[in-house]
Amino acid sequence: MSSNRYNRGVELDGLKFTSSSNYTIIAEIGRGGMGIVYVAERECEGVTDVVALKMLRHFKPDLESKFKSEANIATSLRHENIVKTYGLEAVGAAEIPEEFAKELEGLSHDTGRRVLAPRLRPDARALPKLRTRLRARPPQDERKLYSIVMDYIEGTDLRTLHMVHVQRQLLIPVPLAAFIISRVCRALGYAHQFIVHRDISPENVLINTQGVVKLSDFGVAASGPDTGGGLTGKFAYMSPEQLRRQAVDGRTDLYSLGLVLYQILTGIHPQRLPRGLNREQQAAHVEKLFEKEIPPAADVRTDVPKILSDICAKMIARRREARYARSIDCVSDLEKKYLYARGFGPTNNALQAYWEAFQGDFQASADQLKELTFLKDEQGKIQLKRPVAGEFYTQLGREMMK
């Protein structure tokens, strides 16, 4: 008998081969600065699955270079709380239907456009395949349309989840809000070994139907500490050093994440921008806001525990030296001092149970309630609803709400 455990036969290490898949676009689910995100069916030799395609909407070499850089960064990251990216796909310009190309390039940049990811049915495969060859352009056109292929996250994003709550005069329960942020913080703790995200915002935090939180969109990420220079990201979630084009590191992402936590805890966005401002005016508005510290969340809403408020305040300190030095330190405080200080607290299953109960107008099942026992009030009753009501706001909070 051979001493090798397995009879490997011919050595195939280093063998290269080419494979092809067909993609059928089903629906648009998001839009950003460089690309449009679609949910699509991927098929190869009769085997199909569903993926998300972030499609670059311009034939411009400089944008293509940035897009490839994003794909390289994203594909190198492997963590439970980061959207898995598989790589890049390219389609020749001559293969793209003319109507599709015109629509893609003509779409306006609207980072606010975001829809709930659709639940897919076997018959929801209706649109023409992207690889269908139509002579819309001369065959010698060598340009390519690039797409980043990612896991399709069936569920929602944090911006949508928060806004749907606000529309119903509610806020996400405090422990679940802190849990969501802690999962993003864990993702950052891993990612900061390699990159600085630089664009943390509610729409880039996804939550799937199993209650798993996923960080997405590494389009403006920088490998290692960034030396400043280009102004990237959203002004509404931008740190002072990022706005001032200074060197940034992981503490910049923590500042942005702290603003997200503050927003979903209090219902108030402390760095909110008035409508109608151009980029220069937005920058000037935010710079003026930096002149004052943000009031602690517990001084705004009476149902925000002081320990959680203190953690949030440390995340959003204007001076980065006053913030957590590392994301893992922030996670430790969130989990040990608040989320699991009593020995039990939110889990992925709990977030799933709450989301299902919320969608069912809080007609929660017994199994769902078992997952949510940490929401019991002093009388031992599980409180699923967290109202946006004046009685929960201090005088300062009411003034800020105006």
- Lowest-confidence region among 22-26, 70-74, 291-295, 319-323: 70-74
Task: Enter the tokens of residue 10.
Answer: 């011919």
Residue 11 pLDDT grade (very low, low, confident, very high; cuts 50, 70, 90) = confident
Contacts of 229 (CB under 8 A, 6+ apart): 245
In the predicted model, what is the mean pLDDT of residues 288-302?
Answer: 96
CATH annotation of 155-401: 1.10.510.10
pLDDT digits (tens, 9 = 90+) for 95-125: 766 666 666 665 544 444 444 444 443 333 3
pLDDT digits (tens, 9 = 90+) for 185-212: 999 999 999 989 999 999 999 999 999 9
In the predicted model, what is the mean pLDDT of residues 353-382?
Answer: 95
Is the torsion defined by CA of 188, 37, 66, 252 positive or negative? negative
pLDDT digits (tens, 9 = 90+) for 147-181: 889 999 999 999 999 999 999 999 999 999 999 99
- Above pLDDT 90, what percent of the chain? 59
pLDDT at 103: 63
Task: Enter the tokens of residue 5.
Answer: 């455990």
Of 49, 110, 151, 199, catalytic: 199
Of residues 243 and 122, the one with the higher pLDDT is 243
Q: Mean pLDDT across the chain, nearest whole number?
A: 85
pLDDT at 140: 57
Class of CATH domain 22-151: alpha beta
In the predicted model, what is the mean pLDDT of residues 22-45?
Answer: 84
pLDDT at 90: 82
CATH topology match: 22-151 vs 155-401? no
pLDDT at 360: 93
187, 250 contact by CB (below 8 A): no
pLDDT at 302: 96
Residue boundaries of the structural domains of the chain: 22-151, 155-401
Closest C-alpha to 305, from 324, 333, 326: 333
Closest C-alpha to 205, from 269, 239, 160: 160
Question: DSSP secondary structure string, 25-70?
Answer: EEEEEEE-SSEEEEEEEEEETTEEEEEEEEEE----HHHHHHHHHH
pLDDT at 126: 37
Catalytic site includes residue 49: no
- Lowest-confidence region among 22-36, 86-100, 217-231, 317-331: 217-231
pLDDT digits (tens, 9 = 90+) for 331-357: 999 999 999 998 889 999 999 999 999
Question: Does residue 139 have a pLDDT over 80?
Answer: no
Is the torsion defined by CA of 133, 139, 145, 146 positive or negative? positive
330, 311 contact by CB (below 8 A): yes
The enclosing H or E element of 258 equals: helix 250-266
pLDDT at 222: 64
β pairing state of 205-208 and 144-151: unpaired
Of residues 134 and 213, the one with the higher pLDDT is 213
What totals of helices (H) and strands (E) does the chain contain, helices first?
12, 10
pLDDT digits (tens, 9 = 90+) for 50-83: 999 888 877 677 778 888 888 888 888 899 999 9
